A and B are shown apart, each in its own frame.
Chain A
Amino acid sequence: MTDFERYVAEYSPQLTRFCMKLCGNIHDAEDLFQDTWARAFDRIDQYRPSYSFESWLFTICANLYKNSKKLKYNSSKAVFATQEEKERFIRSIPAEEKEVDAYIDLHTAMQALPKKHRLVLVLYYFRSFTQQEIAEMLGIPEGTVKSRLNTAKKLLKRRLYDEEDQR
């Protein structure tokens, strides 16, 4: 087994979850997953072992997502493509049954966020990257990361408040 195959075997589960959180649906997530590994394979010679492979891989994935066109990796307007996908999502939520609806609303609100805000939000909460690390990964100032993070939260809160109000 080559080093790259070992990396694929080790980091595919985490990359899958990351892609699912970014794209919101399984089809776009799988496209992003394949594209990320293909890009990593092409540029594996640029990887420096002194650097975390996970961070390097997630940086590739984040930049692919950020630099993609608007509808790429975001093609589905449905919250869940299938009922099975919805049930799988509900089972994965570490919450009580009465809070499931709130998480479904959160999932819906996340899909409605602009790409740049969703990306910062997922990087911050998914892997607990600091704002400085996110700024280095995306090549943007740290203040921009902070601003996007606050904007994303405001948008989410407004969306969730509206949805609760509608219920």
Chain B
Amino acid sequence: MKKISDERLDKMLADYCKADAGQTFTFDPEKKREKLIPFVRFRKQFIAAASLVLVSVLSLIIYFSFGNINNTPLTVAPFQHKIITPSSTEGGGGGDPDQQDGTAPTESKSVLQRIRDFFFPDASDDTGTSSSERGGSSATVLPTEQGNGAAGRSPSRRNPSTVPSATSSPGAPSNPQPEATESDFPTPITEPATEPDAPPHVLPTEPIDPPWNDPEPTDPPGEGDEPWLIPPTEGGIMVGAPVEAYARFDSSLMVGVTGVYCKVYSDDSLIGSSDLYDRSHCAYILDSASGQTDVVYETPEGLINSVGKYVFVFYDQNGNELARERKYIY
């Protein structure tokens, strides 16, 4: 074992580089061209294939990203039933704060979710139901259904086939609507409601207007008070026929009361006799059990002879207001 000196290495390198194996290549331009052509062909095919794949992927992305906006049948179908809004008058302030999460039913979904909805529509529906049960599905939020501010109750999420019309009673806590409170019902409109949380709802054919459907009067009674009129109630009463008005108030107001009378106001004006003790103004006490007193007043025939809003104010013999009832006569 010995190290190689610089001189020896220089000599070896010089001999190595001067070594001539007696071999000479021949320049052949055609040979070079033959080597290039397959590469060029391959390169063109590769570029063509890559372009095709790229265009396909982009097309899929664009399709799934904007398909819903363009109302293509593919993606609209799962959402369409969720954005139907009832044309009723029950819209208003308040409502269920759990549902006022600022989301809209048309909120765009992610691309992956759209792809999943496309390939697994059933799984998508299941997912939507389960998510709504957790209380967070944006598809269940209907902006026009958000609450009944006057009644302060939660808006019921209804199947589109059971959306009530404008004739339904807004203030009927004793006869609540069946509420589909826990889940969407993503079935088509014509499909029968089989889910337990969305029972079919029968539209009311008669006015449901019990005498105790209004809150207790809180303002002190006074002659100059103008009755506050609420929006028209559902249900109809024949014009000209006697009208019964029910009212309920606390029985403590009945201390020392010997008679209950009622006056009828149409808009702002008193109709009928101005005499408080007119016999036609007598109301009848129906019941005074459980701390509540129910009274009823029947108007004389012909007293109410026009369509409109009427307010029935119940007084005692001293003119103190006991209760008031509002009705819309048509």
Q: Interface of A with B (CB < 8 Å)?
A: 8, 12-13, 15-17, 19-21, 26, 29-30, 33-35, 37-38, 41, 88-89, 91-95, 102-103, 106-107, 110, 121-122, 125-126, 153, 156-157, 160-161, 164-165
Stretch of B9-17, B88-96, B229-237 with 4 or more beta carbons under 8 angstroms from chain A = B9-17
**Chain A binding surface, main DSSP class:** helix
Cβ A103 vs Cβ B12 within 8 A: yes
In the complex, what distance in Å separates the CA atom of A103 from the CA atom of B27? 29
Among B1, B6, B32, the residue within 8 A (CB) of A35 is: B32
For the complex, what is the distance from the CA of A91 to the CA of B21, rounded to whole Å?
7
User: Of A17, A21, A38, A102, which one neighbours B32 at CB under 8 angstroms?
Assistant: A38
User: Which residues does chain B contribute within 8 Å of A91, judged by CB atoms?
Assistant: 21
- Number of B interface residues in the complex (CB < 8 A): 27
Q: Do residues B28 and A34 form an inter-chain contact, with CB atoms below 8 A?
A: yes
- Are A93 and B2 touching (Cβ within 8 A)? no
Partner of A106, one of B6, B12, B22: B12
Can you list 27 residue pairs at the A/B interface with Cβ under 8 Å? A16-B23, A20-B21, A20-B23, A30-B25, A33-B25, A34-B27, A37-B27, A38-B29, A41-B29, A88-B22, A89-B19, A92-B20, A92-B21, A93-B16, A93-B19, A94-B15, A95-B15, A103-B15, A106-B13, A107-B16, A121-B13, A125-B14, A126-B17, A126-B18, A160-B4, A164-B1, A164-B4
A109 vs chain B, min Cβ distance (A): 10
Q: Which residues of A contact B19 (CB under 8 A)?
A: 89, 92-94
- Tell whether B3 is near chain A: CB-to-CB under 8 Å: yes
Q: How far is the CB of B13 from chain A (nearest CB, A)?
A: 5
With both beta carbons as reference points, the residue of chain B lying nearest to A160 in the complex is identified as B4
Nearest Cβ on chain B to A104's Cβ, whole angstroms:
10
Given A38-B29, A121-B13, 8 new contacts (CB under 8 A): A30-B25, A35-B32, A38-B32, A93-B15, A94-B18, A125-B10, A160-B4, A161-B4
Q: Which 4 A/B pairs are nearest by Cβ-Cβ distance? A: A92-B19, A126-B17, A125-B17, A37-B27
A88 contact set on B, CB distance < 8 A = 21-23
Residues in A neighbouring B15, C-beta threshold 8 A: 93-95, 103
Tell me if B26 is interfacial: C-beta within 8 Å of chain A.
Answer: yes
B41 within 8 A of A: no
Chain B nearest CB, measured from A121 CB (Å): 7
- List chain B positions with a Cβ less than 8 A from chain A: 1-4, 6, 9-10, 12-29, 31-32
The interface residues of chain B lying within 8 Å CB-to-CB of A8 are: 27
Whose C-beta in chain A lies nearest to the C-beta of B22? A92
Most A-side CB within 10 Å, residue of B15, B24, B25 = B25
CB–CB B20/A17 < 8 A: yes
Tell which of A16, A102, A106 touches B24, judged by Cβ atoms closer than 8 Å.
Answer: A16
Contacts of B2 in A (CB 8 A): 164
Question: Would you give the shortest CB distance from A160 to chain B, in whole angstroms?
Answer: 5
Give the residue among A34, A89, A103, A107 with the most B Cβ atoms within 10 A: A34
Are B25 and A12 in contact (CB-based, < 8 A)? yes
Complex: chain A residue closest to B8, CB-CB:
A102
